Amino acid sequence: MNARMEQRNAGVAPAIATHYEQVRQHSVALAAPLSDEDCCAQSMPDASPIKWHLAHTTWFFETFILERFELNYQPHHPVFRVLFNSYYNGVGDKHARAQRGLLTRPSLAAVHDYRRDVDARLLEVLAQPMKAEQFAQLATLVGLGLQHEQQHQELMLTDVQHLLSCNPLMPAYREAPLRVRSSPAPMQWHSFDAGIVEIGHDGEGFCFDNELPRHRQFVEPYQLASRLVTNGEYLAFIEAGGYRDPSLWLSEGWDWVKREGLEHPLYWRQTEDGWCVFGLHGLQSLDVNAAATQISYFEADAYARWAGARLPTEAEWEHAARQGKGLQQLFGECWQWTSSSYAAYPGFQTAEGALGEYNGKFMANQYVLRGSSCATPEGHARVSYRNFFPATARWQFMGVRLAR
Amino acid sequence: MNARMEQRNAGVAPAIATHYEQVRQHSVALAAPLSDEDCCAQSMPDASPIKWHLAHTTWFFETFILERFELNYQPHHPVFRVLFNSYYNGVGDKHARAQRGLLTRPSLAAVHDYRRDVDARLLEVLAQPMKAEQFAQLATLVGLGLQHEQQHQELMLTDVQHLLSCNPLMPAYREAPLRVRSSPAPMQWHSFDAGIVEIGHDGEGFCFDNELPRHRQFVEPYQLASRLVTNGEYLAFIEAGGYRDPSLWLSEGWDWVKREGLEHPLYWRQTEDGWCVFGLHGLQSLDVNAAATQISYFEADAYARWAGARLPTEAEWEHAARQGKGLQQLFGECWQWTSSSYAAYPGFQTAEGALGEYNGKFMANQYVLRGSSCATPEGHARVSYRNFFPATARWQFMGVRLAR
Amino acid sequence: MNARMEQRNAGVAPAIATHYEQVRQHSVALAAPLSDEDCCAQSMPDASPIKWHLAHTTWFFETFILERFELNYQPHHPVFRVLFNSYYNGVGDKHARAQRGLLTRPSLAAVHDYRRDVDARLLEVLAQPMKAEQFAQLATLVGLGLQHEQQHQELMLTDVQHLLSCNPLMPAYREAPLRVRSSPAPMQWHSFDAGIVEIGHDGEGFCFDNELPRHRQFVEPYQLASRLVTNGEYLAFIEAGGYRDPSLWLSEGWDWVKREGLEHPLYWRQTEDGWCVFGLHGLQSLDVNAAATQISYFEADAYARWAGARLPTEAEWEHAARQGKGLQQLFGECWQWTSSSYAAYPGFQTAEGALGEYNGKFMANQYVLRGSSCATPEGHARVSYRNFFPATARWQFMGVRLAR
Amino acid sequence: MNARMEQRNAGVAPAIATHYEQVRQHSVALAAPLSDEDCCAQSMPDASPIKWHLAHTTWFFETFILERFELNYQPHHPVFRVLFNSYYNGVGDKHARAQRGLLTRPSLAAVHDYRRDVDARLLEVLAQPMKAEQFAQLATLVGLGLQHEQQHQELMLTDVQHLLSCNPLMPAYREAPLRVRSSPAPMQWHSFDAGIVEIGHDGEGFCFDNELPRHRQFVEPYQLASRLVTNGEYLAFIEAGGYRDPSLWLSEGWDWVKREGLEHPLYWRQTEDGWCVFGLHGLQSLDVNAAATQISYFEADAYARWAGARLPTEAEWEHAARQGKGLQQLFGECWQWTSSSYAAYPGFQTAEGALGEYNGKFMANQYVLRGSSCATPEGHARVSYRNFFPATARWQFMGVRLAR
């Protein structure tokens, strides 16, 4: 290694380290309002305990960075490799997903120790002199690990909301709402012409593999709503019998509505004082001006059909978002369902090894959401970002932007 | 009605009647080799008894044509409206799908009576004088009913194969195979350029609503295999450990393979004399030159990944098929999985009323298949035809054409 | 073999043969009103197709008698050994119970051929000269096979009733009811003293192994109702909210009632014309004087609690039945639930080999019923007879005699 | 109230108060080695979190005593009435059993507050002057509440063992085993004569309603093993293929063994170092001299059949235990399965109101166990005590004493 290489690393490494510490600290801060018990429980197989999120994001750095870059690497605890593996078959065995809530050991305190140990070791690795090529690999992996941790930061909030919603005491995660919402302007339709558009990440900054390659799609002329569907609008759908009319629903969605006996969104509650919504700040009266959220694909699609509209494709959404044109609530409110099934872009390549399992293997029977939500960490959103969930998922901050 | 109108109808009606009788007779012929018992049993909720197919296709004509066009319409039997409704919520109640095999009454003979009664009445309706506009509606509905019946004719074969496969006696539906297969030529890759292509039905002859509207899509450069994957090629995948390597599978597919303990396609059997396949003509030695069939989307996708290729999109398939270019086995062998999720074309419209439930409401969590199979009735296939099934379905004649 | 032995056999064998033919013929007669389709379908895993009953009872004679006693025994069909084995692990593999309705082959006609073949061969075996000891074994096994067939004759009726009840056409098995019922006398309590009683078969004639050995039990003083609970009495329980009051039910029974949404006995239907009951002769108005039947243990127990009484133990029932004392409807109406869990009598011995599986292995989580029903073949009932079913079973002719 | 009454209460109340505090304190001591997280998790619907046990036993005193005896009773927290109701329909709604592990709130600390509050108030009620009759009722209910708490103390240990067994870290509840076990003497058969025996509680001291009334039963001559079956003896059963031979099992048990893939008792683990057992003190080598424990009824019954013996009836067990005759390990080792289905004794009466739900409603599809275990609190066992569990339960300290 020559001196120049070391110099360059020395210039970048501190910035990476600072960013690393900020992102890592944010996870700890998100867990701070919660008790050890809150952090251990798992309310459904799709959600994970907060403690597990704290450990798994650490496992990611240990497994994919320390194991590769640390001299004389020794695991923090050999069993953690299995306990905190989420879905990477390439890494080996995994603790059963539905049993994460039974891991009362290691304790929350021990998981915080685990975080501190890995953090210290990772910062040491970052500070080591190494060849530029190797450092570039390291920096890329650290960047991926931090994006990964930010994804889990959003899940920490949605998972804890789900857990607390199962408790008849209806406890609040914290007092104040995440964001103050203002009254929306009247909904308007913005028009876009037909033509070949380019979608996918355009090469600057970080992106996940599923945002690549940037490629061409043809879109027919379309219109997009200027803002998201509000609670008040969604309430009109309910009151018009939306949950009782099969002609509004996809067949599989209707079977699901009947089987589960659904009559309203996940966190809506009909009380003596009218409609309320359970959120991170407890049970609150329904805000008719706020964007309707935590709504499944099947509900979003039925609402759109009832409203004489449809959901946008992801090409339409991304093309419009890149143009701006006065569209509101693209980011920071709630993720927006598209009608696009989650699939590989033409020429999509997965990484070698276990990291290739990050995104590609989930490309079946899920739908893409675009934008970002009130729970998305600052700096994590992108216009080319592809979030994805099954059509019945509804515990995330998911809402509806209409198209036609 | 003036004389000209009557004349025009009089010219077309006999041809429709002849076609009607031919298609209807074919269903009866398909059931002919089977006993009353064979026609009554249902081997799984996804499959229906032959007798139910015979009755449901008749119910379709009675409900959507006789009820509308017959003077003084009286139902053949009031309970049949419920018994033989498949999934039309707009028509009213339905007999539970999984319980179709319990309908030992009406008897097969009574169902044949039902067919003869509806046939006679429908032919009488066809022969009535009526206004041209009304006749056009009638002709359209009869055409739809016959296409519908042809779809069920294919299902009759695949459903009875599944039923007989559950019987340790391994009975044959009939002695000879459906088609004689010749040895395939070596597989070649055919190349196609990038560009805007048009897909969807182009306006001549019948099509289903889901093939409309014809519209533009952009395709990147791609290659398509000249023929389907053979049993011999698929066997190599099995022998290379294809069913034991999670890195080849979509995550949901891998969970399914493990949960069901899958090791080979649905009808393959490992016997003392080597690999055999159960088909409509009983258990036969595996023909390594025949196209691999009755393979799920998950298996097709895993095979393609193992082979260093992928499945085509439906736009790629249709564009290539319209050009020809020496592609073999496009039709008449087995349906070919595409990577395209079954979704509405831009501007897709459903029909008014219960017939609007025909296709649109199934546009979720299914994948499109293109081409046609050895079980597809003559004259039913089209280059724009969109067949669709869930990713785990594998009792249809479904195979693999590779793309890259 | 000396002449005397042969002579003795020769004296008994014809009587056995006659009895054999009568019992076997009765099964055929029970199936006569039904179509091939009716005989093939299976409405739930607990019930079997008529055709399967016809074949399984034949399999019993073939497996346990022909295989042992016939010279140069050849199976009628090698696969039948598996297809028509019910639950005898000692005999080998079994066709999956829930899949009996998929056996459209062998056809009903082929099963009747199977019966005729085995009947002819068995009668030939009976007519052969053999040693007395061997003949005694043969006679015992034939007797057991005929008792076994009579048990299945009752199941044929209850299983076909269940199948037909699943059909919205509500077809009748036959026109006339099985028995004409007369109005019951007012219910009276008959008293019995405490003391040591003997229960179990007393050595004359046939009995199953579970009726042995005859042994002593101590009973405290008790009273038994002179007749069974009527439909009218049971209706009063329903109208008093019996199905909505958890305090009347065993905990597991209450969970079952809520899970299944039960509000009345299995075959009761609330129609525009009031309460009706679906039976072997179709849908009929509720006869308030008839004994309530097709009632589960949980329902029987809840009714008894509501009526301020309880179910009798099997020792109480048998002791009372042996004394007579004017008890009505002991036999021929419906089986009567006892509070006794089905368990081995002290000193109970099972037979060697697969026949030892006949009764003993079912002695867990079932309750004993005593008496006999309208569907029990003539000559099959005994005062020591122990019928048994799980607490939720309710498709048999099961009713309630109160005790206190 | 006259002075004498007050005096009498004043004499007894302090002793009750002392006993109350001892028993209540023991529950707290049992939870002491565990973290907040350990106390919150629920490993299966049959088991409850430690915190829930601590709260439910407190709820019992609040609901059945404070609510009745306290002047101006106010609930500690109105929602606790629902959260900590186990199965008393008479008290009102219940939190879903399978969701107890989601109750991260109230915190463990808040539950300890709840305990202290109720304890203080109950001791105050005890100290109040009241009429003798009323005091007698109070004393009876306090006694019942303490017996109830002792039952839960045993469940706390078995439930926490199950939870810890689900954790790949295999944590110990505490270091030392509960009891030191000595090598057993050779097994001997003790004989008992036929005759009328009396079983049930005989009137001195506390008993549960299900131990009454004391009544007569007739027992045939029988023999009982002098000690429990050991791990070494059970291991011989496993090694002889006990889990693979259907002829040893009840039919329902065999279906269960196959469905679950069982090959050994719940907590046995085959390791590189041979057989180990997971217990409250972690994973330990199998002690071949210790009593085999945590064995289901189905396993106990199969073992007994394999050993040429059977399980005793509860009358046999109680009659023998009352006589002594040198029987070892009757108490304090593990509960002993009997072949007796859990049923009402002749003349059994339940209490009025919700407390009547304590025992009676569970008298279906469960089997009686006699004796007591290493986890049973001191002073809780009785010769007439009837423990009961379903035939598949195996996470309790349950073992086998043979009879014949």
From the list D35, D82, D166, the residue facing A107 with the nearest CB is: D35
Give which of B101, B87, B103 is closest to B159, Cα–Cα: B101
CB < 8 Å to C254, chain D? 89, 361
Q: What is the pLDDT of residues A380-397, one digit of tens each?
A: 999 999 999 999 999 999
Is the minimum CB–CB distance between C55 and chain B shorter than 8 Å?
Answer: no
% of chain C surpassing 70 pLDDT: 96
CB < 8 Å to B82, chain C? 168
Subunit partners of chain A (3 or more CB pairs within 8 A): B, D
Give which of B179, B168, B165, B198 is closest to B268, Cα–Cα: B165
Residue D168 · residue A95 · CB < 8 Å: yes
Is the minimum CB–CB distance between B365 and chain A shorter than 8 Å?
Answer: yes
Tokens of B300: 């097709």
Contact C341 D344 (CB under 8 A): no
Give chain A's length. Answer: 404
Average pLDDT in the A289-295 region? 96
Contact C105 B79 (CB under 8 A): no
Q: Is B358 left (phi over 0), alpha (psi -120 to 50) or beta?
A: alpha
% of chain D surpassing 70 pLDDT: 96
What gap in Å lies between CA B163 and CA C101, rounded to an integer? 10
Tokens of A126: 């970052």
Predicted local distance difference test score (pLDDT) of residue C114: 98
Predicted local distance difference test score (pLDDT) of residue D179: 60
What gap in Å lies between CA B400 and CA B317, rounded to an integer? 12
Residue A302 · residue A397 · CB < 8 Å: no
Average pLDDT in the C303-314 region? 98
Predicted local distance difference test score (pLDDT) of residue D353: 87
Contact A89 B346 (CB under 8 A): no
Residue A354 · residue A335 · CB < 8 Å: no
Cβ-in-10-Å burial (0-12, 13-18, 19+) of C128 comes to middle
Contact B40 C37 (CB under 8 A): yes
One-letter amino acid identity for B27? S
At B384, give phi and psi (nearest 5°). -100, 5
Q: What is the pLDDT of residues B362-399, one digit of tens each?
A: 999 999 999 999 999 999 999 999 999 999 999 999 99
- Looking at every residue in chain C, the average pLDDT score rounds to 94
Is the minimum CB–CB distance between A361 and chain B shorter than 8 Å?
Answer: yes
Q: What is the pLDDT of residues B70-80, one digit of tens each?
A: 999 999 999 99
Average pLDDT in the C257-279 region? 97
Q: Looking up tokens 């975080």, which residue turns up?
A: A115
Is the minimum CB–CB distance between D21 and chain C shorter than 8 Å?
Answer: no
What gap in Å lies between CA B253 and CA B305, rounded to an integer? 13
Give the chain D residue nearest C197 (alpha carbons).
D218
Q: How confident is the model at residue B1 (pLDDT cuts 50, 70, 90)?
A: very low
One-letter amino acid identity for B162? H
CB < 8 Å to B103, chain C? 167
- Nearest-CA distance D97 → chain C (Å): 12
% of chain A surpassing 90 pLDDT: 89
Give the chain B residue nearest C165 (alpha carbons).
B102
Cα→Cα distances C318→B243, B291, C304, D7, Å: 60, 69, 19, 56
In the predicted model, is pLDDT for residue B202 greater than 80?
A: yes
From the list A101, A105, A108, the residue facing D171 with the nearest CB is: A105
DSSP string, B2-60: -HHHHHHHHHHHHHHHHHHHHHHHHHHHHHTTS-HHHHH--SSTTS--HHHHHHHHHHH
Three-state SS for D42? Answer: coil
CB < 8 Å to A358, chain B? none
Predicted local distance difference test score (pLDDT) of residue A1: 42
Is the minimum CB–CB distance between A59 and chain B shorter than 8 Å?
Answer: no
Rounded to two decimals, the ipTM of the complex is 0.95
Q: Looking up tokens 């598209």, which residue turns up?
A: A338
Three-state SS for A42? Answer: coil
Residue B189 · residue B223 · CB < 8 Å: yes
Give the chain A residue nearest B251 (alpha carbons).
A361
Predicted local distance difference test score (pLDDT) of residue D4: 57
Give which of D1, D59, D135, D28 is closest to D354, Cα–Cα: D59
CA-angle at A156, arms to A152 and A160, nearest 5° = 160
Contacts of C241 (CB under 8 A, 6+ apart): none
Average pLDDT in the B257-269 region? 98
Residue D275 · residue D236 · CB < 8 Å: no
Give the chain C residue nearest D352 (alpha carbons).
C247
In the predicted model, is pLDDT for residue A114 greater than 70?
A: yes
Contact C298 D364 (CB under 8 A): yes
Contact D218 C220 (CB under 8 A): no
Contact A107 D40 (CB under 8 A): no
What gap in Å lies between CA A37 and CA B12, rounded to an integer? 77
Give which of A281, A277, A273 is closest to A180, Cα–Cα: A281
- Nearest-CA distance C30 → chain B (Å): 17
Torsion of CA A202, A207, A211, A212, to 10 degrees: 60
- Nearest-CA distance B45 → chain C (Å): 13
Residue A254 · residue A243 · CB < 8 Å: no
Residue B388 · residue B362 · CB < 8 Å: yes
Give which of B210, B189, B209 is closest to B310, Cα–Cα: B189
Residue C296 · residue C323 · CB < 8 Å: no
Q: How confident is the model at residue B180 (pLDDT cuts 50, 70, 90)?
A: low
Residue A388 · residue A239 · CB < 8 Å: no
DSSP string, D168-204: TT---S-SS-SSPPPPPPPP-EEEE--EEEEES--SS
Contact B343 A346 (CB under 8 A): no
Give which of A144, A192, A171 is closest to A319, Cα–Cα: A192
Q: What is the pLDDT of residues D137-179, one digit of tens each?
A: 999 999 999 999 999 999 999 999 999 999 999 999 998 765 6
Q: Is the preceding peptide bond at C346 cis, omega within 30 degrees of 0?
A: no
Is the minimum CB–CB distance between D248 and chain A shorter than 8 Å?
Answer: no
Cα→Cα distances A193→A196, A220, A228, A316, Å: 10, 7, 21, 10
Q: Examine chains A and D and say if they touch (3+ CB pairs below 8 A).
A: yes
What gap in Å lies between CA C390 and CA A240, rounded to an integer? 47
Q: B398-399 and B335-341: which strand pairing?
A: parallel
Q: Is D274 left (phi over 0), alpha (psi -120 to 50) or beta?
A: left
Is the minimum CB–CB distance between D41 and chain A shorter than 8 Å?
Answer: yes
Predicted local distance difference test score (pLDDT) of residue C5: 55
CB < 8 Å to B315, chain A? none
The reported pTM is 0.95
One-letter amino acid identity for C37? E
- Nearest-CA distance A43 → chain D (Å): 6
Scanning C98-117 for CB atoms below 8 A from B yields 99, 101-108
Q: What is the pLDDT of residues D103-138, one digit of tens each?
A: 999 999 999 999 999 999 999 999 999 999 999 999
Is the minimum CB–CB distance between B365 and chain C shorter than 8 Å?
Answer: no
- How many C-beta atoms lie closer than 10 Å to residue C95's C-beta? 20
Scanning D166-205 for CB atoms below 8 A from C yields 194, 196
- How many C-beta atoms lie closer than 10 Å to residue B381's C-beta? 18
Torsion of CA C376, C380, C386, C390, to 10 degrees: -30
Tokens of A165: 């919603």
Q: How confident is the model at residue A260 (pLDDT cuts 50, 70, 90)?
A: very high
The CA-to-CA distance between both ends of chain A, in Å, stands at 58
